[in-house]
Amino acid sequence: MGRRVDRYPVQGRNSMQHWPKLRGFWRVIFNFAVIQVGRFIPWLGVKGWLYSRLLGVQVGRDASIGLMVMLDIFFPEYITIGEDSIIGYNTTILCHEFLPREYRVGQVHIGKGVLVGANCTVLPGVAIGDGSIVAAGSVVNTDIPPGVVAGGVPARVIKGLEEDSHV
């Protein structure tokens, strides 16, 4: 489908200079602190509880968020991670992006039974369909349909999972 983001033009300084208008200072500090603690917690249940209860991330049952995963510090509540999904080591999930003359905000939906490999970046406004696999090191800048293997920079569908019975 593409990306579903709300665009906010700015004038004068670049959009990152306007971040205090995006979210309150103390809220960003709180979100950052919780995310930093969560990045190092190896207990998946505790990490899921921390993110869902304190930040509003929708974390499905038996979802696993790996070590060093960096969630969006401005809008973590815009992130949904489906049941039984795995978010690999050092992945970044963003719900905002700053450009010179505008900033953008969008939700990220990761479906059920999804594997997002290590060191991926998921950009705002995208959805990863149920049962898909995103290869390590990929940049997800558009929707990934259900039941496929995708990878690359930017991530593109490589094949359907039904093509390989070993996956």
Q: What pLDDT is attached to residue 3?
A: 84
Question: Given this model, what pLDDT does residue 132 score?
Answer: 98
Provide the token pair at 162.
Answer: 């039904």
Q: Is the pLDDT of residue 165 over 70?
A: no
Please indicate whether residue 55 or residue 166 has the higher confidence score (pLDDT). Answer: 55
More confident residue, 124 or 160: 124
CA distances from 16 to 20, 37, 94, 103, 129 (A): 9, 25, 14, 8, 31
Is residue 96 annotated as part of the catalytic site, yes or no? yes
Which class does domain 6-163 fall in?
mainly beta
pLDDT at 91: 98
Domain boundaries, the chain: 6-163
Q: What's the chain's length in residues?
A: 167
User: If pLDDT is split at 50, 70 and 90, which confidence band does 162 have?
Assistant: low
Residues 6+ apart with CB under 8 A from 35: 51, 55, 70, 71, 73, 76
Q: What whole-number percentage of the chain has pLDDT above 90?
A: 89
Mean pLDDT for 142-163 is 91
Burial 100-114 (b: 16+ CB within 10 A, else e): eeebbbbbbbbbbbb
User: What letter does residue 144 receive in the DSSP assignment?
Assistant: B
Question: What are the distances in angstroms from CA 163 to CA 36, 144, 149, 152?
Answer: 39, 17, 10, 19
What letter would DSSP give residue 84?
Answer: T
pLDDT digits over 88-141, tens only?
999 999 999 999 999 999 999 999 999 999 999 999 999 999 999 999 999 999
> With contact defined as beta carbons under 8 Å apart, do 85 and 114 qualify?
yes
Of 18, 96, 109, 166, the catalytic one is 96
